[in-house]
A and B are shown apart, each in its own frame.
Chain A
Amino acid sequence: MASSFSRILSSKRHIGILTLVGGSVTAGFLLHREHVSAGVPVRRRYPASAEFPDLRKHNNCMASNLTPAIYAKLCDRATPNGFTLDEAIQTGVDNPGHPFIKTVGMVAGDEESYEVFADLLDPVIKERHNGYDPRVMKHPTDLDSSKIQSGHFDERYVLSSRVRTGRSIRGLSLPPACTRAERREVERVVVDALSGLKGDLTGKYYSLTQMTEKEQQQLIDDHFLFDKPVSPLLTCAGMARDWPDARGIWHNIEKTFLIWVNEEDHTRVISMEKGGNMKRVFERFCRGLKEVERLIQERGWEFMWNERLGYVLTCPSNLGTGLRAGVHVKLPLLSKDPRFSKILDNLRLQKRGTGGVDTAAVGGVFDISNLDRLGQSEVQLVQTVVDGVNYLIECEKRLERGQDIKVPPPINKFKV
């Protein structure tokens, strides 16, 4: 997709500042809302320097990269949908961050945000994605699961396998910016497409506003139900507005393929099963994604994707593949070894507790998944997880036998 022509007509500022140059027209550009002003704008205006946020106590990627000059350049712009820089960075202003965990600190309100605010988003993306430069690099997409080798783990160690990603529907604003009608349209488009899935992918949609108590309890027991976000990182970005309107969960009858609608992204797609057959999990993941894509294309829609950024999602940290492939794996001995963190680092893996990000491991069972999202394809990332987890299991077995282990050499970040 070439960059879009953006005519800026923002209800908030009534300033016709042009950004970008022409190319193809996206459906999103033509989807405009009319806000008729009650009269001549008389809002008190301040120079950019008076509006620049105080980021002295902040530690997130946005704060590290937003200079007064960049702010001054971008602060009067808006995307065709009216999304502004202030809205994009609000979450990072409101959440100064953690000394150890560096959050991204900004979101996209629509696909065009990544163009209109590129002066800030490009360096943020580069920092977050280990040097990936969207200005010059291309992101590879590869959903051919047949390429995965040795994708079946030793099930004495691996308890479950899971792959997740997100997809956005081109032409509709993202959760921080979408109106109620747009959000409902996302739900309509996605649910309609999902009803066309067949075979082992046949399933059912449960709308959050309409589910029965019984359905709700079942979804909780299956660990499928998602709650209204409570993290201020998400609520400050406006993603929880109008909850639970147009939110829901779809899953297949076998409960191995699950889609969240309108949570943090338009869709989150999850393939999972008990045991260690990551190859099968990924096969179903790719097949399901391609089938959903085909079904929405039949209806005249497509996913947000471009060769600079791959699949476009709300949070810049999820660009590219948006993919997190992981396992719950028992590593009681290895996890106590002081070299554990370094081994993970070199394998480009991260650990989490089994409750998800920011939880602690219980009983030596860890959630191990890929660190990277952008700059490598889905196949490459899943292979990285497969190779890495196999290595970790080997280490665990060696430690069980009283043998020593080795820290592997660091693998390449970008295989482009």
Chain B
Amino acid sequence: MVKLTLKRLSAEDEYPDLSQHNNYMAKVLTQDMYKKLRERATPSGFTIDGVIQTGVDNPGHPFIMTVGCVAGDEETYEVFKDLLDPVIEDRHGGYKPTDKHKTDLNSGNLKGGDDLDPNYVLSSRVRTGRSIRGFSLPPHCSRGERRAVEKLSIEALASLSGDLKGKYYALKNMTDAEQQQLIDDHFLFDKPVSPLLLASGMARDWPDARGIWHNDNKTFLVWVNEEDHLRVISMQKGGNMKEVFTRFCTGLTKIESLFKERSHEFMWNEHLGYVLTCPSNLGTGLRAGVHVKLPNLSKNTKFEEVLKKLRLQKRGTGGVDTAAVGGVFDISNADRLGFSEVELVQMVVDGVKLLVDMEKRLEKGQSIDDLMPAQK
């Protein structure tokens, strides 16, 4: 006869070992906080362990600070605010729980941006994400929910017209020819391989209900059910960021109204702006960037400082964590929350203009000292 072990597993016994960890979640989550939060779940049943699993499984990198937690639904940001508010504050440069986030998708408010020098700026791109209110997010959604998100998205996107008219390619139904074309266009997304994403459960049931929609002109692209419900991308070759951003705003606004016609809305509130799976993408969820040739400036000792002052970040042209090739960098806004879409794109436009001016000076062997910007 087995001894009847009537145990309530204690918070102390459940608390994760974060001694080797370096991510925002590990910095914030004390045992007391864990004890308090494990008594809760969101209405759809998401728990603190679900929130933090990715951060427990991925201790992090000494130099790159990952977030280490995700949302399973919109309510996560409320139910687990004791953890998420400080994580958000730390990740988003001091954004407080009482702060309000401005949304501005009026591309007419952008000054300039249509004349970045195409000899240097090879391509321009703006991306963001959107979540459909009432549905769980990728770490937590059931197959039924994910399929419903796909169905709604397909219906809404099918109503787009004019230069936004396009077609949906479901990952599990696409032909070899379609797949190759999407790869050649650099549109196709793969099943995530990063353990940061896998550990949170976002890749479950792949490729069910995942797909890619793009317009016939291949300048407006929507990913369905990858890391977020929707990722929306506007892009084109050259330096006309204004045109890219205008299409972005028009497209997003149109998609939003199409969802509203079907009685659905995006997750949004005035504190966090647009709500997405990863706390790093709150607010605007916006990354506006260019591929730009800066072979001289990138070797200059002041490069990092300039980027920091301009509130920009650099990546290789393969995306985050890749190295630059041939002096070509991906330069984009570092911020997401606490600035509006227009403000962030303005920073990119003004900043890239300055970087190109600096590059031209250095080409001629001239100094860039007088061009050094103030901290934005």
List the A side residues contacting B198 at CB < 8 Å.
235
Who on chain B is nearest to A95 by CB? B206
- Pick out which of these stretches binds chain B: A29-37, A141-149, A260-268, A402-410: A29-37
Q: Which residues in A have their C-beta under 8 angstroms from that of B17?
A: 209, 245
Q: Do A90 and B204 have beta carbons less than 8 Å apart?
A: yes
Min CB–CB distance B180 → chain A (angstroms)? 19
* Assembly CA distance A34 to B8 (angstroms): 8
B41 touches A38 (CB 8 A): yes
- Give how many B residues have a beta carbon under 8 Å from the other chain's beta carbons: 45
The answer to whether B16 touches A35 (Cβ under 8 A) is no
Which of A33, A41, A185 has a CB less than 8 Å from the CB of B45? A41
A181 proximal to B (CB < 8 A):
yes
**Chain A contacts with B in 329-375, Cβ cutoff 8 A:** none
Beyond known contacts A30-B5, A41-B44, A181-B14: 10 more, CB 8 A cutoff: A11-B45, A13-B45, A34-B8, A37-B41, A43-B44, A44-B144, A51-B142, A51-B143, A93-B208, A182-B9
A243 within 8 A of B: yes
Some 26 contacts from A to B, beta carbons below 8 A apart, are A11-B45, A13-B45, A27-B2, A27-B3, A33-B9, A34-B8, A36-B41, A37-B41, A38-B43, A38-B75, A39-B43, A41-B43, A41-B45, A42-B44, A44-B148, A50-B148, A94-B203, A94-B204, A181-B9, A242-B53, A242-B56, A245-B17, A300-B2, A300-B5, A301-B2, A302-B2
Residues 7-34 of chain A: 1 if any B CB is under 8 Å from the residue's CB, otherwise 0? 0000111100000000001110011011
Q: CB of A40 within 8 A of chain B? A: yes
Cα of A58 to Cα of B14 in the assembled complex, Å: 36
Residue-wise, chain B 1-39 has the 8 Å CB interface mask toward A (1 for contact) of: 011111111100111110000000000000000000001
Residue positions of A touching B, CB distance < 8 A: 11-14, 25-27, 30-31, 33-47, 50-54, 86, 90, 93-94, 170-171, 179-182, 184-185, 209, 235-236, 240-243, 245, 300-302
Docked-complex contact B136 and A242, CB < 8 angstroms: no
- The answer to whether A12 and B3 touch (CB under 8 A), given A94-B204, A179-B14, is no
CB-based contact B6/A30 at 8 Å: yes
Interface residues of B in 113-155 (CB under 8 A from A): 134-136, 142-145, 147-148
Asked if B56 contacts A241 (CB within 8 A), the reply is yes
Is B10 a contact partner of A181 (Cβ separation < 8 A)? yes
Q: Given the complex, which residues of A lie within 8 Å of B39, measured CB to CB?
A: 34, 36
Q: How near does chain A come to B308, taking the closest CB pair, in angstroms? A: 35
Query: Among residues 30 to 75 in chain B, which have CB atoms less than 8 Å away from a CB atom of chain A?
Result: 39-45, 47, 49, 53, 56-57, 75
A188 to chain B, nearest CB (A): 10
Residues of B within 8 A of A (CB): 2-10, 13-17, 39-45, 47, 49, 53, 56-57, 75, 79, 134-136, 142-145, 147-148, 172, 198-199, 203-206, 208
CA A43 to CA B137, docked complex, whole Å: 12
Given contacts A13-B45, A35-B41, A302-B2, contact A53 B143 (CB under 8 A): yes
A235-B198, A245-B17 given; A37·B43 CB < 8 A:
yes
Contact of A243 among B4, B57, B206, B208 (CB under 8 A): B57
Which B residues touch A240, using CB under 8 A? 57
A100, chain B: closest CB distance, angstroms = 22
Q: Which residue of A lies closest to B147 (CB)?
A: A50
Residue of A nearest to B44 (CB): A43
Query: Which B residues lie within 8 Å of A12 (CB)?
Result: 45
B16 contacts which chain A residues (CB < 8 A)? Answer: 180, 242, 245
Query: Total contacts A to B, CB within 8 angstroms?
Result: 126
- Give A41 to B42 CA distance when docked, in angstroms: 8
The answer to whether A27 touches B4, judged by C-beta atoms less than 8 angstroms apart, is: yes
Partner of A38, one of B9, B40, B56: B40
B204, A30: Cβ atoms closer than 8 Å: no
Residues of A within 8 A of B6 (CB): 30-31
**Once the chains are docked, how many angstroms separate the CA of A37 from the CA of B44?**
9
Contact across chains for A86 and B142 when beta carbons are under 8 A apart:
yes
Q: How far is the CB of A354 from chain B (nearest CB, A)?
A: 29
Residues of chain A with a CB closer than 8 A to B8's CB? 33-34
Q: Which residues of B contact A236 (CB under 8 A)?
A: 204
Residue of B whose beta carbon sits closest to that of A14: B45
Q: Do B136 and A43 have beta carbons less than 8 Å apart?
A: yes
How far is the CB of B45 from the nearest CB of chain A, in Å? 4
Cβ contact within 8 Å between B143 and A241:
no
Query: What are the residues of chain B within 8 A of A86 when measuring CB–CB?
Result: 142-143
Residue of B nearest to A39 (CB): B43
With A38-B40, A93-B205, A182-B9 as given contacts, are A46 and B2 in contact (CB-CB < 8 Å)? no
Cβ–Cβ < 8 Å partners of B206 in chain A: 94
Check A242–B57 contact: CB distance below 8 A. Answer: yes
A94 to B10: give the CA distance in the assembly, Å. Answer: 33
Residue contact B2 to A170, C-beta cutoff 8 Å:
yes
Output the nearest chain B residue to A185 by Cβ-Cβ distance: B13
Q: How far is the CB of A204 from chain B (nearest CB, A)?
A: 22
User: A364 → chain B, closest Cβ, in Å?
Assistant: 37
Asked whether, in the complex, the Cβ of B3 is within 8 Å of the Cβ of A181, the reply is: no
Q: Which residue of A lies closest to B56 (CB)?
A: A242
User: What CA separation (Å) do A224 and B204 show in the bound complex?
Assistant: 32
User: Considering the chains assembled together, what is the distance between the CA atoms of A68 and B146 in angstroms?
Assistant: 19
Shortest C-beta distance, A281 to chain B (Å), equals 31
Instruction: Give the most central of B4, B15, B40, B49: most A CB within 10 Å.
Output: B4
